[in-house]
Amino acid sequence: MSEMPHAAHGRIIESEFRPHPWLRGPHAQTLIPSLLRPLPALDFSIETLELPDGDFVRLGWCGAPEASRVAVLVHGLTGGFDSKYLRGLALLLVAQDWRVAMLELRGGGELPNRSAHTYHHGDTGDLRFLWQQLQARAPQRRIAAVGWSLGANVLLKALGEEGARSPVDVAVASCAPFLLQPCAEKLGTGFARVYQRHIMKGLHELVRRKHASVQLPAGVDVAAALRAQDFFAFDDAYTAPLHGFADARDYYARCQCGPYLKRIETPTLIINARDDPFMVRGLLPRAEALAPAVTLELTQRGGHVGFVARARNGGLDYWLERRIAQWLEQALPA
């Protein structure tokens, strides 16, 4: 990998990733894993972790309980235990003698949570509580954390908030939306609207389920949220008022991970594609915006949570999962 010069800040490296020759475009890279990849078979047990405020999150556990390392995996928007990238990485890590905890964020997955509170881009409290619990349960066990998309934003923000206090030894974030408002606006343009429509269906279902099970605070406009066809309108009507933000712009400004990158002290790898259709190409962070502990690995292609390469047999190789597992093994050997 080629490396750009750096001083008292993070570094940016050019990735060796090469896309499958038939899947060079950003939309093919983004859609093919979702549409064609079978759900990886994974045996895991589910733990309900009670939270201090009376709500809960769920953990999907796999791998040897006595392993000396545990990896916490954090899904993206509308994801959960059935996210293919989550399971794919879990399988690789278990084969490398890791204990794996797949975190299903509050209100994520198929099981409604107890409170009106729902996970969002800036919701770091539950992840930080989980880290504390893992440290208390096994003080000698080393902790890694991995997040994708929304989960990457939550992870990076949490690491920045914790700074030197972080109990996490190493971390990897992929497809992080560094600046939320430009990303929300980008998803309302061109072919990216296809992704927006798909995700909005999942968000509308989340609102219906939430509205049927708990009393929502005054100021949350359920009808407007269900009518919303874009992220800005949805976040303005639902996410922002539900979680104490003035409006969507306030939510985006206070929850985006970009400003926290300079505060991270945990060795962290960020992997993003320059052609990610969820992102604005010109707004990727510069090295000066990264803490010395942070490395940003950029690929020319790869789409959003895609990174599909060509396997030796000519089939599909999910490079991102292999790259994350490889880096974790080097950064935190058994």
* Distance between CA atoms of residues 26 and 165, nearest Å: 38
Identify the CA nearest to 270 among candidates 177, 184, 187, 180.
Answer: 177
Q: Which of 235, 236, 275, 276 is catalytic?
A: 276
Identify the CA nearest to 145 among candidates 161, 165, 167, 176.
Answer: 167
Q: Which run of H or of E encompasses 189?
A: none
Q: Which two tokens stand for residue 167?
A: 């109990």
149 given a catalytic annotation: yes
45-50 and 56-62 as β-strands: parallel, antiparallel, unpaired? antiparallel
Q: Side-chain half-sphere of 146: how many Cα atoms within 13 Å?
A: 26
276 given a catalytic annotation: yes
Q: Which run of H or of E encompasses 209?
A: helix 192-213
329 — alpha (psi -120 to 50), left (phi > 0) or beta? alpha
213 given a catalytic annotation: no
Q: Side-chain half-sphere of 224: how many Cα atoms within 13 Å?
A: 14
Instruction: Please spell the DSSP secondary structure of 87-150, one letter per residue.
Output: HHHHHHHHHTT-EEEEEE-TT-TTS--SSS----TT--HHHHHHHHHHHHH-TTSEEEEEEETH
Q: Which of 15, 149, 166, 174 is catalytic?
A: 149
Identify the CA nearest to 180 among candidates 226, 236, 223, 101.
Answer: 236
Rounded to a whole number, what is the distance in angstroms from the first to the last CA of the chain?
Answer: 25
Residue that has been written with the tokens 């960020």 in this structure: 270
DSSP 253: H
The one-letter amino acid code at 243 reads: H
Q: Which two tokens stand for residue 311?
A: 């396997």
Catalytically annotated residues: 149, 276, 304
